[in-house]
Chains A and B, each alone.
Chain A
């Protein structure tokens, strides 16, 4: 065993990179679920975002354009879900699962010409002064723009839900859509906007995988990240801050356990391998021992006439 071979600076820096895709997808799904909609299609929207972002970034040479396209692609796919569940009043669980299957198939089709191509590199922000601080500089201030955007998004969602009128309306729609409707709020419109936001975030998360974390296009490359994001929202009891904590825990323990394995630590690999799931769930479940609960209207179909 040689723990000195693990460089804590590099470890913490990779933690942040490893957690960004699920963080983005989870924060989007949090908004969707707070609006009372259960969209199980996160995996499908992520992988669609991954290929849309990858294709546009390769064709334009601009990662920024790629990320924009990923958001549009993810949101576009989520609108399909919105049309099915909000306008045609289809079952949300079935529609969400179908969206995942559809997204996986669609992305494989779109991605046929992109296997083995290298995307343009996403530049890292070189923040003067801050980036030169020993230890903290490389850990916190040496990432690409998307990392900071994801963090800003978490803060914005938290503030929006807690302090703004828009957040109050969104929560009202999610807690009791009949009451919100009686007060004159457009339940369906609010929910469609939330679904599109969730889709855009999932798309960004997918593109972060294909453009930064891996970086390449491979069919099925999300490999379950969308499901982890979904679980994270539940275990974080629908709170933005806890989603961030959960994503960092999951990403962090995952990177840590790989590093411990490489360093040859004497903990059986089976335990290391399950540790990200175990620790994340344990911490979040203990934290959610308070009175937090799911939005009351989550997954229920709304129609103004009923």
Chain B
């Protein structure tokens, strides 16, 4: 029994030592709620790079805290509440599924500012921010259409939410433009992060003939699966995933949150923070296109870069008509571009895609 007492004592001592650190104030405290581990090599990793950029930029004036691998759902509310109770002034909740928990906690803490990534619900103290990942998807789709030899492109989707559906549509439209025979096979993994399942999904797609894999899940497992299979092209998702350069990873979409996080922290310090809805793309630098490697033929690379420049300059919108919905009904007329409201709520496939979107 003595050992148990000893351990309890030790645990108490650690707890007491940690307590004063929470008590002091005057620093601005910025909190982050992550859906995966910071070492996922993708989505959460880039958000954490943004957090580190805040620390570097503000030095001692700002203190950051984070909690990783927070499940979407009821537990998220507990985690966000805990962070607000511990004195956070600004809290970034970085996954779509944190939307309702964020709104509900924000109601209880009117003095704390909240920033929710990729959602659409706001409040006086809740902003939303997201990146126009579909601009990057269009470029990936173009490369995918040019690179595939089997004309089968595999797509590992996560959850059937507008952001993911938008990505599938943008990639498909541009893959079809580059290669009229291309087909998409889509797997819904129903997870943002589960390396084993992502690898299984990639393998299932490869076994069914896909030689290009696009992913909307956060880990690098599909890259490893593609490398193991050989001859399969992949793209980095959310982060550069440079470890798999130059092949299978031939390019990537990189989410760059750093400038935004620094600006919003500054706004809280200055007292100028206001609720807003931000949706930035390649133009503002929130979406970056990772190096297109030599595994891609030079002319395809040039086309992809030209597409990127046109999107950045605002000369070209990835959703430009004529486009039809999957059921054959008209969506966009010749030359018409999609408005943001439709894009933000996108719940349909464009013409040519097989299968149904889970509801």
Chain A residues within CB distance 8 Å of chain B = 5-7, 10-11, 14, 18, 21, 87-90, 104, 108, 111-112, 115-118, 209, 213-216, 218-225, 254-255, 258-259, 261-264, 268-270, 273
Contact = CB atoms under 8 A, between A and B. Distances in A.
For the complex of A and B, the 5 pairs showing the least CB-CB separation, nearest first, are A116-B243, A219-B39, A219-B37, A269-B358, A223-B194
Given A223-B195, A254-B197, A87 B39 contact: no
Contacts of A5: 208-209
A79 B4 CA distance: 16
A115 B203 contact: no
30 contacts: A5-B208, A5-B209, A7-B207, A10-B207, A88-B3, A89-B1, A89-B4, A90-B4, A104-B69, A108-B37, A111-B39, A116-B242, A118-B227, A214-B199, A214-B225, A216-B195, A216-B221, A216-B224, A218-B195, A218-B221, A219-B40, A220-B40, A221-B219, A221-B221, A223-B196, A262-B154, A262-B187, A262-B208, A270-B359, A273-B190
Given A88-B3, A259-B208, A261-B188, A218 B358 contact: no
A221 B42 CA distance: 13
A220 B193 contact: yes
A254 B358 CA distance: 18
B281 interface: no
Interface string B174-215: 000000000001111111011111011101110111100000
A87 B199 contact: no
Contact of B200 (A218, A219, A254): A254
Interface in B155-191: 160, 185-191
Q: Which of A14, A111, A214, A273 is most buried by chain B, counting CB atoms within 10 A of its CB?
A: A214
B224 A214 contact: yes
A273 B358 CA distance: 11
Contacts, number: 129
Contact of A215 (B186, B187, B228, B359): B228
A108 B41 CA distance: 13
B215 to A, nearest CB: 13
Nearest to B201: A258
B186 A6 contact: no
A294 B92 CA distance: 45
A259 B188 CA distance: 11
Interface of B: 1, 3-4, 7, 36-41, 69, 154, 160, 185-191, 193-197, 199-201, 203-205, 207-210, 219-221, 224-225, 227-228, 242-244, 354-356, 358-359
B40 A218 contact: yes
Contact of A262 (B1, B204, B356): B204
Contacts of A222: 196
B200 A255 contact: yes
B224 A223 contact: no
The residue among B196, B197, B242 with the most chain A CB atoms within 10 A of its own CB is B196
A184 B199 CA distance: 50
Given A5-B208, A214-B199, A268-B356, A224 B220 contact: no
Given A90-B7, A108-B39, A218-B221, 9 more contacts: A115-B39, A214-B221, A220-B39, A223-B195, A254-B197, A255-B204, A258-B189, A262-B210, A273-B190
A96 to B, nearest CB: 16
Contacts of B200: 14, 18, 213, 254-255, 258
A218 B220 contact: yes
Nearest to B193: A223
Contacts of B189: 258
B189 to A, nearest CB: 8
B197 A220 contact: no
A237 to B, nearest CB: 26
Given A259-B207, A262-B205, A115 B41 contact: yes
A21 B37 contact: no
